[in-house]
Structure 1
Amino acid sequence: MFAAPSSLNGKELTLRVDSTLGELTARYRAEFLPCPAGRPDFRSPELPAAGRLPSMASRDYLIPNDPENGYDGPADLSIESAIGHDSDNLYLAINVRDDVHFQPFSAGKLWAADSIQLVIDTRADALPNVYGFAPDDYEMSFGLTPNGPDKEFDYIYERGRAAASLKQVECNIFRSGDLTCYRIAIPWKVLNMEPENGTVFGLNFIANDHDGHGRNYWMGLTPGIGEAKNPYAYRKFILQR
């Protein structure tokens, strides 16, 4: 951990270590996405103008990207989304375009059908080639079931606080045409984070697609959730007032 006098976003960093085992040099590129101030409308399918994330509307974001998996373009599965925050919560607004909504399950198995799986690496401290979650990581799933919106913790290190923490997470999930709209608010206190300007964290989410014939594929910002848990691969975000 170190402090920089100015933004390092987009710049190459060189790490050089001299030790009794020799010298090691590694190069990294600092790439942060902004997490601006703002709260989405939890009742509207419209996304905020600020905090927009990359548009996911092609096989470039599909996992597994198998030509034989039946993916039929953006109407089959595509994503528009935005991120934001205030002093109390981290917000995500995710619109999943999906011509067939299929989610017959409830909390405990939401990931197995149409759903969002969201992982937050609160310290952005994951290491390369180290799979699995650390105590500062959180994974949640959200789905629109026959009984309405549902949510679950798939991973929280302190299992004893899972139920109370889940109650504090706010979500609204609704269909608007062929869009499934997810509106999510996660309190900073649930994540054990202080929302200070310049705070960096790792985050990734995927949209699972089922269509009634099994979960054939999913789409997300990066790999590292559906096929294996790899927080090092997640996008890094920086809080901006």
Structure 2
Amino acid sequence: MKKDGFHPVDTHGESATWLGDGIQFALDTIANAPKGTAGLQDDDFEYLLSLYQGEPLLIRLAASASSYDSLSKDLGRTDQGDCAIRKTADGVVYELALPPVSISPFKLLPGSATRFNFIVNMNDGEKRVGWIELTPGIGQQPKRPDQFMDMVLLP
């Protein structure tokens, strides 16, 4: 996506960085949301990656229940991932590497299926002006994991 300027927002606290330029993504980790599902389920994740006070910030907005894997996953700022955000001559590059626990119970094995979605939040320097989404389902309330894109890992 090409637009004028880069406008992260950090004036409303960490949890409101979605008001500025940044990325949100979500997974329905076991691809089980029935048609018409309203809201994320207990196997789903949602993350926000943005620049906050000049540094990359990763926030976990939703996480799978520990009943799937006996792993606790706190919401809010997380350091469970390596992230970078850098401006280039052509725009802004977002980089993120997450450990498997950050998307569990999804398994990083050939043939594993999930549903995935992301949006690019946009700000014009004064206010949030919208977003671009891969598919519907993440930018609206309630979230609709049944509308996320199917994704299968290849061998």
- SS at structure 2 position matched to 1:227: coil
Query: 1:157: how far off?
Result: 4.5
Runs of 5+ consecutive residues of structure 1 not aligned to the other structure: 1-77, 79-96
Question: What's the counterpart of residue 19 of structure 2?
Answer: 112
Q: 1:185 — aligned with what?
A: 97
| Deviation per residue, 1:62-88 (Å, 9 max, x gap) | xxxxxxxxxxxxxxxx2xxxxxxxxxx
Unaligned stretches of 5+ in structure 2?
67-71
2:128 is aligned with 1:223 = no
CA RMSD, aligned part only? 2.1
What letter is aligned with 1:191?
I
CA distance in 1, matches of 2:115, 2:75: 24
Name which structure has the greater RCO, CA cutoff 8 Å, separation 6+: 2
Distance (Å, rounded) in 2 between the aligned partners of 1:165 and 1:142: 10
* Residues 173 and 181, structure 1, Cα contact 8 Å, conserved in 2: yes
For residues 96-134 of structure 1, what are the alpha-carbon distances to aligned partners after superposition, in whole Å with 9 as ceiling and x for unaligned? x33211113152112111110110110011111111011
Name which of structure 1's ranges 112-121 and 187-196 shifts more when overlaid on structure 2.
Answer: 187-196
Q: Compare CA radii of gyration and give the structure with the larger one.
A: 1
Quote the offset at 1:158 in angstroms.
4.7
Q: Secondary structure, in 3 states, of the residue corresponding to 1:162?
A: coil
Residue 47 of structure 2 aligns with an amino acid whose one-letter code is M
TM-score, with length taken from structure 2: 0.84
1:140-159 aligned at under 5 Å gives the runs: 140-158=47-65
Identity of counterpart residues, as a percentage? 27
Structure 1 residue ranges, 4+ long, deviating more than 4 angstroms after superposition: 157-160
d(CA) in 2 for partners of 1:163 and 1:236? 25
Letter in 1 for 2:30: R
Q: How far apart are the structure 1 equivalents of 2:97 and 2:22?
A: 16
Q: After alignment, is 167-176 or 144-153 more displaced? A: 144-153
